[in-house]
Structure 1
């Protein structure tokens, strides 16, 4: 029997039992949809993480009191005991680091921003040293950036995100307008380009002010985060990081042999840690999806065994007319493979739809990986073939005389 003829017979058999075919497909559909949805979301999260951290530049690293990712309560308590990183630490590094091309510091809090009778709540107020916007690659689309003079004189000027402009300054030229941040007046000197949202939270609802002005309003007790640009990734970055590490230990009087009283993170460290978390999540979800595929495969095998029993007389007639065992084997294998392939195709569409729905609902990034679609279809088909071998072999080994006697 030719492959084309076997494929035609398989499709006819599946179409003749549409409801049974659909119910049989559910296990494969759920398994493949789960895999595709998870891979799409994990791929989107990894792409977002890499883009987000790489936007600072591969040659930028940070010094902070606590790491950006804390995995246990004990670590959190330990890091809380550390001394704050103060503006004096930043100035000490700025004055003594010979490998640093650029250096800045930042603090942040949440505040209410008001203009006239309009207001925006839960806005992030960022206290910036004058080099910080360029270190974070913030593109100023209107107006100007901070200057060293703004920082030295604690000027009441600000750079705003597009949410602030759209909600409080719609229809007017924002440059030169006055906003009140927690009651303090600031003059708008610049507007940053739109950054979009992350996991459903807008990244444009913020106001940046000089760090010196920030500390006059909110105090100097809280820790700052220092951003340092090495000028080049690789060995130059490592050299600058080592120099900053020595300077910070000296400034903070860390005892010889004692661990650092601060955290020094490069982009590769942060991306690697975050990617490891998403991979672990993907592995767990993939294992759960594999269970669904196995269940789906067992259902396919069960239905194919039922089909062999129901079509025993048909198999006997075909063998009596000259069909060989391998022809019968091919026919039933093609049926199970086609059933799984159709289920895989539906599962791929369903998985992508679920991932996109999650993105629309909560803003979680998603990105369809072509390899995952191809792998999903191959795995689904392979599942159908694997679990279809036993029923197909049973059909192929039927004695035609015994099969013809079946009712």
Structure 2
């Protein structure tokens, strides 16, 4: 029997039992869709983080009270007990880190912004030093950034995100307008470039003021995060971060042999950590999805066994007319493989649709990996062939005389 003929017979058989075929496909569809959706979302998240870090620069390291990611509440409490990082330590890095090209610091909180009769809540209020907007990958669309003079004199000026312009100022020219940041008047001197949403949360609902002005309003008890930019290349990054670490250990009186009482992180380390975490999550999700594929494969095997039983007489006739064992084997393997491959195709489509829906509704970045599509189809086809071997062998080994005597 030719492969083309076997495929035609397989399609005819599946079409003759449409409802049964659709129900059989569900396990494969769900399994493949889950894999495609998870891989698409994780690939998008990794690309998003990599893009942000690359645009910010792989030559930036941060010094903070605690790391960006903590794996347990116990660790979080441990880091919270550390001494805060104050402006004096920022100035020490700024003056003492000769290998750092630029040094900045920031603090942030959430508060209320008012303009006329309009107001917004849960707006992120950032305290920036002069170079922080550039070091945080923040482009100024209109007006100017914060200056050294603003920082030194604690000037009541600010840069705003596009949400403030759209929702409070109603697209009026923001430059020169006065808003109230938690009740304190502030003149807008710059408008940040629109950044969109991530995980459903707007990245443009913020106001940035000079860090010195920020601390006049909110106090100095909370820790600042220090950003430092080294020269290009891994060696320059290593040398600058080592120098920054030595300065911080001296200021904070960390004893030789003791762990740092602060956290120093590089952009590449953060990207690697995020990639590791997302891969673990993806691995777990794929493992769960694999269960659906196994269930789908078992269902396919059961249905193929039923099909063999129903078509026993047909198999006997084909063998009596000269069909060989391999012809029958190929026919049923083609049927189970076609069934699972169709499930894989619908699973790929479903997975992409789910990922894109999540991206649109929640703002989660999604990027389709072409390799995942081929892997999904291959796994689906392999599942059908693997679980179709036993029913196919059972059909191929039927004695034609016994099969012709069947009542079916």
User: After TM superposition, is the score higher than 0.5?
Assistant: yes
What is the CA–CA distance in structure 2 between the aligned matches of 1:138 and 1:21, rounded to whole Å?
A: 54
Residues 244-283 of structure 1 correspond to what in structure 2 (within 5 A)?
A: 244-283=244-283
What is the CA–CA distance in structure 1 between the aligned matches of 2:387 and 2:210, rounded to whole Å?
A: 67
Residue 53 of structure 1: CA displacement? Answer: 2.9
What is the CA–CA distance in structure 1 between the aligned matches of 2:121 and 2:370, rounded to whole Å?
A: 41
Q: Is the 8 A contact 2:31 2:290 kept in 1?
A: yes
Corresponding residue SS for 2:313: helix
Corresponding residue SS for 2:56: coil
Corresponding residue SS for 2:254: coil
After TM superposition, the score normalised by the length of structure 2 is 0.98
What does the per-residue CA deviation read over 1:244-294, in whole Å, with 9 as the maximum and x for residues that have no partner?
000001111111211111100001111111111111111111111111111
- Which residue of 1 is the match for residue 226 of structure 2? 226
Q: 2:53 matched to 1:53?
A: yes
What is the CA–CA distance in structure 1 between the aligned matches of 2:390 and 2:309, rounded to whole Å?
A: 13
- Which residue of 2 is the match for residue 392 of structure 1? 392
Residue 171 of structure 1: CA displacement? Answer: 4.1
- Which residue of 2 is the match for residue 331 of structure 1? 331
- Which residue of 1 is the match for residue 302 of structure 2? 302
Q: 2:151 matched to 1:122?
A: no
- Which residue of 1 is the match for residue 142 of structure 2? 142
Corresponding residue SS for 1:189: strand
**What 5-or-longer segments of structure 1 have no aligned partner?**
none
Residues 16-55 of structure 1 correspond to what in structure 2 (within 5 A)?
A: 16-55=16-55
- Which residue of 2 is the match for residue 95 of structure 1? 95
What is the CA–CA distance in structure 2 between the aligned matches of 1:182 and 1:62, rounded to whole Å?
A: 28
Q: Is the 8 A contact 2:141 2:193 kept in 1?
A: yes
Q: Is the 8 A contact 2:52 2:137 kept in 1?
A: no
Q: Is the 8 A contact 1:55 1:136 kept in 2?
A: no
Corresponding residue SS for 2:68: coil
**What 5-or-longer segments of structure 2 have no aligned partner?**
none
- Which residue of 2 is the match for residue 356 of structure 1? 356
Q: Is the 8 A contact 1:154 1:211 kept in 2?
A: yes
Q: CA RMSD in A?
A: 1.1
What is the CA–CA distance in structure 1 between the aligned matches of 2:351 and 2:41, rounded to whole Å?
A: 10
- Which residue of 1 is the match for residue 4 of structure 2? 4
Corresponding residue SS for 1:323: coil
- Which residue of 2 is the match for residue 341 of structure 1? 341
Q: Is the 8 A contact 2:312 2:404 kept in 1?
A: yes
Q: Is the 8 A contact 2:165 2:171 kept in 1?
A: no
- Which residue of 2 is the match for residue 206 of structure 1? 206
- Which residue of 2 is the match for residue 65 of structure 1? 65
What is the CA–CA distance in structure 1 between the aligned matches of 2:137 and 2:382, rounded to whole Å?
A: 48
What is the CA–CA distance in structure 2 between the aligned matches of 1:319 and 1:137, rounded to whole Å?
A: 72
What is the CA–CA distance in structure 1 between the aligned matches of 2:26 and 2:170, rounded to whole Å?
A: 51
After TM superposition, the score normalised by the length of structure 1 is 0.98
Number of aligned residue pairs: give it. Answer: 407
Residue 122 of structure 1: CA displacement? Answer: 0.9
Corresponding residue SS for 1:304: helix
What is the CA–CA distance in structure 2 between the aligned matches of 1:400 and 1:224, rounded to whole Å?
A: 83
Q: Is the 8 A contact 2:179 2:188 kept in 1?
A: yes
What does the per-residue CA deviation read over 1:352-378, in whole Å, with 9 as the maximum and x for residues that have no partner?
112222222322222211111110101
